[in-house]
């Protein structure tokens, strides 16, 4: 016992449960040597030195097996256990180093000296203390097991040093790591290590909690499912007494739908498959959707199919003004259908089923014409006349064969094609099925949609139309197909071959007037819940709407404008501003705003440098103006108005022709070098193309160059060659109707187009004068108010 710091005390080797200074712990001493030591200490001042053995597996450690640094502790309380072991509450006092062992048997005794620590207190140290406290609380919230009293102790301990010892006690780390914490003489370093340890512990606790939450959820879900399945089984047993209610319903529906034998077999097979499936098999819902389709299709539901021609004629006339020829064609067509039906009936009575099939096949008509000319509504009328259901499917933009014929069932989200969808929608197997826009159907890598369509339409094949989704054939031979198109050019050849074309050329102004007066106004009065007692429309007002607010071959926009007027009137009546109204021309402008179109032909004067051409678009024919301005310059030709390449080339050709014939047209030899020429075709935003404006362009140029006015009531169409020849063009019929509508009196056409006038209605031809030309030279005397002097002398 040399220095005052030194003292000799009994020493106990501990395997685990290190006790730090200022902390308490209950240790269990079972080894004889330890029990002896305790008893020895209890006889004296109850102080012992607790020191860890380096390896906990050593049963009877020697002094070399022990660490050098330990803790002096006082034995506060002891309880002897059943097997003689001592449970002792010990309280750590201070950290000591064992300098010398004075005794090894029967117990260890040695000299120890107090170890001083470096206790620099600063902000960092305080921050660490705070951080650790928070983390410990967090760890406790996450489930770390810490005695409540201990927790209070931690939070209330005085010095950072004591705090560090308490924390070291509760950290979830190895005994060896605890020993290292004990041996650390720099308080700050100990806290740093403790920060690391507690951070890590919190993180692990968080992960653990997450995992256990997930496992818990999984477990609960599993439990719930098993429970529900059991419950369902019981319910099913209670209810169904064998077959599931659902399955029974399907079976009944299959029988009720009177499907053909082959289809019924297929349906029952699928039903069997369904019955063997678990309710939770996703496949089951696919099978159900399939069965739904099969049972919902009208395998044997038909509307009556005899035709009363007189009645049909009455209905067609009731619904539509004019269209005389078309209606006649349709009635003839219906007569043929009726005849076939009667013969088929006879054949069936004779038991000749094959003959029946052949006799009872309607061909396919195709209504061709611009939008709004009544194709759809005539289709509806025919359905009404025949007392059949009406369905309409648009085929515009379809490229994929599967759109027509369905996707195979292996395809996710598969459905039948549009034909079968339409049949289901109709609910009968003999509806009037209108296939809209067959000119917009196409073909690409996904198959040829038009080929599939042909199969559906072709009377030779369509009694067993196969849809990929259905897998069983459906008999389409009773369906009355009507197709529609805006133009014939883009309909695939094979399809076109089978169609019986009925042309809807568009309406004249006079026809439109009758349509609006006798049909559209009445229709819109009903649609707006008004009555003829409340609203009347003056004839002049209707004409104004036609002339000033629409420019179309059909009457769709016209109908929209009329609806626009009635909407406003309906509002005024509801707001009690008026009780009834007789719509005048002034009212039209009030309701519909400023005029949308001015009638350029009727109002315009003969003008220099503007010619009138005729154009043809999908929306029907139209007139178009070609403006040419000449200005001083260097021979530049400018083209504007959204012209396509072909039209631009027409301008070049026209100019070249004029330049090559400068003398004949009375122009100066090098006139072109001193001028710039600008050709513009309003309306600038609408794309225009095609060669058919060639003559009109050349005429406009000549009018401008020779300062000779163009006649307002003349319009022309025709391609021009470099030699000034007039070449044949297409769309004559639509163009002529448009010219008539616009109030043109004289139409100039290439000679070769004469034949195209044949199927234009007489009432249109009546008011028009046609001039057939071979050359631009033939055009000038008709189109210009007078011939420039030089041309006269030259020709």
Please list the active-site residues.
Answer: 692, 735
CB of 312 to ligand ADP, least distance (A): 16
Q: Which is nearer to ligand ADP, 360 or 519 (CB)?
A: 519
Query: How far apart are the C-alpha atoms of 611 and 55, rounded to whole Å?
Result: 112
Question: Of 555, 624, 696, 698, which one interacts with ligand ADP (CB under 6 A)?
Answer: 555
Closest approach of Cβ 413 to ligand ADP, in Å? 31
- DSSP assignment of 562-630 equals HHHHHHHHHHHHHTTS-S-EEE-HHHHHHHH-S-S---HHHHPPPEETEEEEEEEETTEEEEEEEEEEE
Contact 415, 407 (CB under 8 A): yes
**Binding piece for ligand ADP, criterion CB under 6 A, among 37-45, 320-328, 494-502, 737-745:** 320-328
Span from 53-61, 72-80, 321-329, 600-608 in contact with ligand ADP (CB under 6 A) = 321-329
Could you say which of 20, 29, 108, 321 contacts ligand ADP (CB under 6 A)? Answer: 321
Minimum Å gap between C-beta 696 and ligand ADP is: 29
Would you say 374 or 406 has its CB closer to ligand ADP? 374
In the bound state with ligand ADP, the residue whose beta carbon lies nearer, of 373 and 695, is 373
Q: Note whether 620 binds ligand ADP by CB under 6 A.
A: no
Question: Which phi-psi region, left, alpha or beta, contains residue 339 (left: φ > 0; alpha: ψ -120 to 50)?
Answer: alpha
Of 132, 515, 704, 720, the one binding ligand ADP (CB under 6 A) is: 515
The helix/strand count (H/E) of the chain reads as 29, 28
Smallest separation (angstroms) from ligand ADP to the CB of 526: 12
Of residues 181-240, which lie at the interface with ligand ADP (CB under 6 A)? none
Nearer to ligand ADP by C-beta: 322 or 362?
Answer: 322
Asked whether the CA dihedral 657, 660, 661, 667 is positive or negative, the reply is positive
Asked if 322 is part of the footprint of ligand ADP (rule: CB under 6 A), the reply reads yes
Q: Which stretch binds ligand ADP (CB under 6 A): 326-334, 460-468, 554-562, 775-783?
A: 554-562
Task: Report, in Å, the least distance between residue 731 CB and ligand ADP.
Answer: 18
Would you give the end-to-end CA distance of the chain in angstroms?
148
Cβ proximity to ligand ADP: between 180 and 760 the closer is 760
Choose the binding region for ligand ADP from 88-96, 420-428, 549-557, 751-759 (rule: CB under 6 A). 549-557
691 binds ligand ADP (CB under 6 A): no
118: β partners? 186
CA distance 614 to 731: 10
Dihedral sign for Cα atoms in the order 648, 650, 651, 652: positive
CB 438 → ligand ADP: shortest distance, Å?
A: 13
Residue found by looking up tokens 């499936």 in the block: 277
Sole residue written with tokens 């611009």: 370
Helix (H, G, I), strand (E, B) or coil at 213: helix
Contact string 402-441 vs ligand ADP (x = CB under 6 A): ----------------------------------------
- Can you name the residues that pair with 500 across neighbouring β-strands? 365
| Least distance to ligand ADP, CB of residue 785, Å | 39
Q: If we measure between CA atoms, which residue out of 718, 722, 699, 711 comes closest to residue 785?
A: 711
Q: How far is the CB of 556 from ligand ADP (least distance, A)?
A: 5
**Cβ 456 vs Cβ 463: under 8 Å:** no
Between 474 and 519, name the residue whose CB sits nearer to ligand ADP. Answer: 519
Does residue 567 touch ligand ADP according to CB under 6 A? no
**Residue located via tokens 């370093």:** 189
Binding segment toward ligand ADP, per CB under 6 A, in 9-17, 314-322, 401-409, 472-480: 314-322
* Shortest Å, Cβ 591 to ligand ADP: 20
Helix or strand run (H / E) with residue 451: helix 449-457
Q: Is 17 left (phi over 0), alpha (psi -120 to 50) or beta?
A: left
If one counts every other C-beta atom within 10 angstroms of the C-beta of residue 293, the result is 19
With respect to ligand ADP, which residue has the nearer C-beta, 48 or 565?
565
| Residues of span 22-51 touching ligand ADP by CB under 6 A | none
Exactly one of 72, 75, 167, 323 binds ligand ADP (CB under 6 A); which one? 323
Kindly tell me which of 376 and 618 has the beta carbon lying closer to ligand ADP.
376
Decide whether 382 or 715 has the Cβ nearer to ligand ADP.
382
Measured at the alpha carbon of residue 168, what is the angle toward residues 166 and 170, in degrees to the nearest 5?
75
Quick check: 112 binds ligand ADP (CB under 6 A)? Answer: no
Angle CA 181–87–198, to nearest 5: 25
Stretch that binds ligand ADP, among 94-102, 319-327, 461-469, 728-736 (CB under 6 A): 319-327
Q: Please give the helix or strand (H or E) that residue 38 lies within, else none.
A: helix 32-43
The Cα 613–Cα 647 span in angstroms is 12
Which residues between 350 and 409 bind ligand ADP (CB under 6 A)?
371-377
Contact (Cβ atoms closer than 8 angstroms) between residue 583 and residue 565: yes
The neighbour count for residue 569, using CB atoms within 10 Å, is 22
CA dist 487 and 369 (Å) reads 7
Q: Which is nearer to ligand ADP, 144 or 375 (CB)?
A: 375
Cis amide leading into 312 (omega within 30): no
- Residue 778 makes contact with ligand ADP by CB under 6 A: no
Helix, strand, coil: what percent of the chain each, to 5?
Answer: 50, 20, 30
In the region spanning residues 519 to 538, those forming contacts with ligand ADP, defined by CB under 6 A, are 519
Q: Are 90 and 46 in contact (CB under 8 A)?
A: no
Which listed residue (458, 552, 559, 734) binds ligand ADP by CB under 6 A? Answer: 559
What is the closest distance, in whole angstroms, from the C-beta atom of residue 516 to ligand ADP in the complex?
9
Whole-number Å distance between alpha carbons of 341 and 317: 24
Which of 355, 556, 560, 751 is in the footprint of ligand ADP by CB under 6 A?
556
Q: Which helix (H) or strand (E) holds 679?
A: strand 675-680
Tell me how far, at minimum, the Cβ of 393 lies from ligand ADP, in Å.
13
The sign of the dihedral angle between the CA atoms of 754, 756, 762, 765 is negative
Segment near ligand ADP (CB under 6 A); pick from 43-51, 266-274, 318-326, 399-407: 318-326
Q: What is the DSSP pairing of strand 480-485 with strand 473-474?
A: unpaired
Q: What is the DSSP letter of 53?
A: B
Among 67-75, 201-209, 316-324, 763-771, the segment contacting ligand ADP (CB under 6 A): 316-324
Residue nearest to ligand ADP (CB): 374
49, burial (CB in 10 Å: exposed 0-12, middle 13-18, buried 19+): buried
Range list of H helices, 157-186: 160-170, 175-183
**Which of 434/714 has CB closer to ligand ADP?**
434
CA atoms within 13 A on the CB side of 388: 28
Query: In whole angstroms, how close is the CB of 323 to ligand ADP at the nearest point?
Result: 5
For ligand ADP, give the closer residue by CB, 47 or 384.
Answer: 384
**Using CB under 6 A, which of the segments 489-497, 553-561, 731-739, 779-787 binds ligand ADP?**
553-561
Q: Give the number of residues in contact with ligand ADP, rule: CB under 6 A.
A: 17
Minimum separation from the CB atom of position 303 to ligand ADP (A): 22
| CB-nearer residue toward ligand ADP: 347 or 382 | 382
Residues that bind ligand ADP (CB under 6 A): 320-323, 371-377, 515, 519, 554-556, 559
């Amino acid at each position: 016992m040399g220095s005052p710091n030194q003292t000799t005390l009994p020493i106990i080797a501990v395997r685990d449960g290190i006790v730090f200074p200022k902390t308490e712990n209950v240790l269990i001493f079972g080894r004889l040597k330890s029990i002896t030591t305790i008893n020895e200490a209890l006889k004296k001042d109850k102080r012992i030195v607790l020191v860890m053995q380096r390896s906990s597996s050593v049963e009877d450690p020697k002094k070399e097996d022990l660490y050098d640094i330990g803790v002096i502790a006082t034995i506060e309380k002891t309880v002897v256990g059943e097997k003689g072991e001592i449970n002792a509450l010990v309280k750590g006092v201070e950290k000591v180093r064992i300098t010398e062992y004075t005794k090894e048997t029967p117990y260890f005794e040695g000299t120890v000296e107090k170890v001083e620590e470096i206790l620099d207190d600063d902000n960092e140290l305080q921050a660490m203390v705070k951080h650790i406290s928070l983390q410990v609380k967090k760890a406790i919230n996450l489930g770390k097991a810490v005695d409540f009293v201990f927790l209070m102790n931690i939070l209330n301990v005085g010095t950072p040093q004591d705090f560090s010892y308490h924390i070291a006690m509760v950290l979830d780390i190895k005994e060896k790591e605890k020993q290292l914490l004990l041996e650390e003489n720099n308080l700050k370093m100990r806290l740093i290590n403790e920060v690391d340890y507690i951070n890590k512990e919190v993180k692990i606790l968080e992960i653990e909690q997450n995992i256990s939450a997930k496992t818990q959820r999984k477990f609960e879900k599993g439990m719930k499912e098993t429970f529900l399945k059991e419950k369902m089984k019981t319910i099913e047993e209670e209810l169904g007494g064998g077959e599931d209610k659902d399955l029974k319903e399907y079976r009944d529906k299959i029988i009720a739908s009177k499907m053909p034998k082959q289809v019924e077999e297929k349906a029952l097979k699928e039903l069997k498959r369904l019955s063997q499936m678990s309710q939770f098999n996703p496949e089951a819902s696919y099978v159900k959707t399939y069965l739904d389709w099969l049972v919902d299709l009208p395998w044997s539901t038909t509307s009556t199919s005899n035709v009363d021609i007189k009645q049909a004629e009455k209905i067609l006339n009731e619904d539509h003004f004019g269209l005389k020829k078309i209606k006649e064609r349709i009635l003839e067509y219906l007569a043929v259908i009726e005849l076939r039906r009667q013969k088929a009936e006879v054949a069936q009575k004779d038991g000749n089923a094959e003959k029946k099939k052949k006799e009872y096949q309607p061909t396919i008509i195709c209504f061709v014409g611009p939008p709004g000319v009544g194709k759809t509504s005539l289709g509806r009328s025919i359905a009404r006349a025949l007392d059949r259901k009406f369905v309409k499917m648009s085929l515009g933009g379809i490229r994929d064969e599967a759109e027509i014929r369905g996707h195979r069932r292996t395809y996710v989200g598969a459905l039948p094609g549009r034909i079968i969808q339409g049949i289901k929608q109709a609910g009968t197997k003999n509806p009037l099925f209108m296939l809209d826009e067959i000119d917009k159907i196409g073909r690409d890598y996904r198959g040829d949609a038009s080929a599939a369509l042909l199969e559906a339409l072709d009377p030779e094949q369509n009694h067993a139309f196969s849809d990929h989704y259905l897998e069983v054939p459906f008999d389409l031979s009773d369906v009355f197909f009507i197709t529609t198109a805006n133009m014939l050019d883009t309909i695939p050849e094979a399809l076109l071959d089978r169609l019986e074309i009925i042309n809807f050329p568009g309406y004249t102004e006079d026809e439109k007037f009758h349509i609006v007066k006798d049909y559209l106004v009445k229709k819109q009065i009903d649609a707006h819940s008004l009555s003829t007692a409340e609203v009347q429309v003056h004839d002049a007002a209707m004409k104004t709407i036609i002339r000033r607010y629409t420019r179309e071959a059909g009457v769709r926009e016209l109908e929209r404008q009329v609806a626009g007027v009635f909407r406003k009137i309906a509002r005024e009546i509801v707001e009690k501003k008026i009780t009834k109204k007789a719509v005048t021309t002034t009212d039209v402008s009030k309701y519909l705003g400023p005029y949308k179109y001015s009638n350029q032909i009727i109002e315009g004067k003969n003008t220099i440098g503007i010619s009138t051409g005729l154009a043809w678009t999908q929306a029907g024919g139209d007139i178009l103006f070609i403006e040419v301005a000449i200005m001083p310059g260097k021979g530049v030709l400018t083209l504007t108005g959204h012209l396509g390449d072909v039209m631009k080339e027409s301008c070049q050709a026209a100019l070249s022709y004029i330049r090559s014939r400068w003398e004949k047209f009375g122009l100066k030899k090098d006139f072109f070098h001193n001028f710039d020429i600008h050709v513009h075709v309003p309306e600038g935003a609408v794309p225009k193309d095609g060669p058919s404006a060639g003559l009109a362009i050349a005429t406009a140029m000549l009018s401008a160059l020779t300062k000779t006015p163009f006649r307002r009531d003349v319009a022309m169409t025709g391609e021009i060659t470099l030699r000034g020849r007039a070449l044949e063009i297409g769309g004559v019929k639509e163009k002529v109707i448009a010219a008539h509508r616009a109030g043109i009196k004289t139409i100039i056409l290439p000679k070769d187009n004469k034949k195209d006038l044949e199927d234009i209605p007489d009432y249109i031809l009546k008011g028009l004068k046609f001039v057939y030309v071979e050359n631009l030279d033939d055009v000038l005397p008709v189109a210009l108010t007078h011939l420039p002097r030089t041309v006269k002398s030259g020709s």
